Amino acid sequence: MAQSRKIYGVWMELFYCDPSKVKDSRIELDDFESKHIARTLRKKSGDPLVLCDGKGHKLSGHIAALKPRVCVDIETSVSVPPASPRVEIAMGFIRPQRLEWALEKATELGAAGVHLIRTGHSGYFSDNRERFNKILRQAMKQNLRYHLPELHLYPSLADFLKTLPAARIKCMAVDPHSPPLARFLEGWDREKPLLYLVGPEGGLSDNETALLSAAGFSDVSLGAYRLRAETAVIAGLSLLMLK
């Protein structure tokens, strides 16, 4: 469904469209968006709509048709640059409901990428990209963002470590006795992307922590209290967003 927000007294709604269609002068929306526009919002032909494709395009136009799917005649198209600095989140798989909540909040807090990893203590694993991307899209629209977080799934920590680019700042919130994340960020060159990792329920094993350290992850702390994985996602990204 579309998401809306009141900005300067005006409600703005954002709808998702397929990235492959952004160059078309008339865009047909999918069943999900069409039903919400026509049945729930009761929009009419001629009503204005704002679309996003998750790739940085903001498209404005008017409804040309409502059936069988909503079609929008595009009038303007603007490229919206990605947010800077680029921050990505990596986390071990946790229980489905908590994981989906973490995905939603990570998107709302500006994560540009999400890496989900099956670790030794992960009690759950899923490769349901369609479901995960749907959650990310809904959160993107709710937040009035135009860039969908990139989703990556890894069946093991080893697979995750194989893909890490060298030129990236990396930190992991694993040990509460480590230096505070805020102190670590004092030396952060914001021109470099940052990857922030939290463990699953039950934490990371000593071997996994050693592998991450060897891969260049610095230990950081979010405080003296033990946090749930999804809480650690929010706490870390909130601090990163303010830097």
Same domain? 100 vs 166: yes
Q: Taking the C-alpha atoms of 159, 162, 168 and 171 in order, what is their torsion angle to the nearest 10 degrees?
A: 50
Q: Note whether 217 and 102 are same-domain residues.
A: yes
Strand ranges for the chain from DSSP E: 3-7, 10-16, 26-28, 48-52, 57-65, 71-79, 87-92, 113-117, 150-154, 169-173, 194-198, 218-220
Q: Are residues 31 and 133 in the same domain?
A: no
pLDDT band at 166 (very low <50, low <70, confident <90, very high): confident
End residue of a domain, out of 11, 46, 79: 79
Same domain, 154 and 217: yes
Please choose, from the candidates 130, 218, 118, the residue with its C-alpha nearest in 3D space to the C-alpha of residue 174: 218
In a shared domain, residues 123 and 216: yes
Which domain does 166 fall in, by range?
A: 87-242
Q: Which of 159, 145, 103, 157 is nearest to 128 (CA)?
A: 103
- Between CA 37 and CA 70 the distance in angstroms is 8
Say if residue 180's pLDDT is above 90: yes
In which band, very low, low, confident or very high, does the pLDDT at 121 lie, cut at 50, 70 and 90? Answer: confident
For residue range 132-165, list pLDDT tens digits in order: 999 999 999 999 999 999 999 999 999 999 998 8
CATH number at residue 56: 2.40.240.20
Confidence of residue 3 (pLDDT cuts 50, 70, 90): low
Residue with tokens 């069943």: 31
Q: Are residues 97 and 74 in the same domain?
A: no
Residues 110 and 64 placed together within one structural domain of the fold: no
Q: Does residue 44 sit in the same domain as residue 101?
A: no
**Together in a domain, 11 and 126:** no
Same domain, 202 and 223: yes
172 lies in the same domain as 94: yes
pLDDT reported for residue 68: 93
**Residue where a domain stops, chosen among 33, 53, 79:** 79
pLDDT grade for 9, boundaries at 50, 70 and 90: very low
Q: Is the pTM of this model over 0.75?
A: yes
For the stretch 19-74, pLDDT in tens is 998 888 999 999 999 999 999 999 999 999 999 999 999 999 999 999 999 999 99
Instruction: Map residue 82 onto helix, strand or coil.
Output: coil
Q: How many domains does the chain have?
A: 2
Q: What is the DSSP letter of 24?
A: S
CATH code for position 172 = 3.40.1280.10
pLDDT of 175 > 60? The answer is yes
What is the per-residue pLDDT for 10?
44
- Model pLDDT, residue 178: 92
pLDDT at position 97 over 90: yes
104 pLDDT exceeds 80? yes
Per-residue confidence (pLDDT) for residue 202, from 0 to 100: 85
State how far the Cα of 28 lies from the Cα of 179, in Å rounded to an integer. 51
Domain end marker among 79, 111, 143: 79
* CA-atom Rg of the chain in angstroms: 20
Rounded Cα distance, 151 and 65, in Å: 33
The pLDDT of 108-114, averaged and rounded, is 96
Q: How confident is the model at residue 7 (pLDDT cuts 50, 70, 90)?
A: very low
Confidence label for 6 from pLDDT (cuts 50, 70 and 90): very low
List the one residue out of 143, 239, 144 whose CA is nearest residue 194: 239
**pLDDT digit string, tens, across residues 189-243:** 888 999 999 999 888 999 999 999 999 999 999 988 889 999 999 999 999 988 7
Task: Give 21's contacts (C-beta < 8 A, 6+ positions apart).
Answer: 27, 28, 53
